[in-house]
Structure 1
C-alpha cells in the first residue's frame, strides 16, 4: 500500500475531479437522505448502498486510470480491510448496482451540488 498510496493520494484523492465527482455524488446522496421527511428503512438502505457503490466505482475507475491496475488492487484490498466484509454483506454491488433502476430511482442527479465541504 505504501508504494502505491502516493500516486493514489496525489493523482486521485487530491484532484478536483475526484472531489467534484466521486465525493460530491456521495455527499449529495447523504444530503438527500437527510432531507427526507419520512424515512423508510428500505429506501434509506437502498439510497446509501447505491451511493456508496457509486462512490466506490468512481474511485476505482480514477485510481485505475491514473495509477494503474496494481494501485487499484492495493486500494481494493485496503478498503476491504478497513471496512471488512461489511460493505459486501450490506451493500453488495450486484444488488445495488448504480445502473439498476432501483439505484436510478433514489440517487440524486450527477449535477446536484452537495451541501458539505468537498
Structure 2
C-alpha cells in the first residue's frame, strides 16, 4: 500500500473513532438536541470525505464494495450546504455507514 493511502486511511480511522466517542451513549433524539455534538460529528465526516478524495484510484478500485464517491459527495454537501444539512441523514450515516467503513479501513491498515 502506498504511504499516502496509509496516512489517509489513518485519518479516516481516527475520524471514525472520534465520531464514536462523540455519539457514545446517545440516541437519535439526543443527537438532534445536541448541536455541539452535531458540529463535531459533521466535522469528522468532512475529514473522512476529504481523506477519501485523496486515496489513490488503485486503492479505491481494489475495494469496490465501499461507496467512495458517495462518501466524497456527502463531504461536499456538508461543506457547501451548511444551511441545509439533514441531521437525520448525518445520524443514519453514523449508525449505518461508518461501521462497515471502519471495518474496511481497519482491515486495510492491519494488512499493510
Using CA pairs below 8 Å that are at least 6 residues apart, which structure has the higher relative contact order?
1
Which structure dedicates a bigger proportion of its chain to helix?
A: 2
Taking structure 1 as the reference length, what is the TM-score of the superposition?
Answer: 0.40
Taking structure 2 as the reference length, what is the TM-score of the superposition?
Answer: 0.41
For the pair shown, the structure with the greater C-alpha radius of gyration is 1
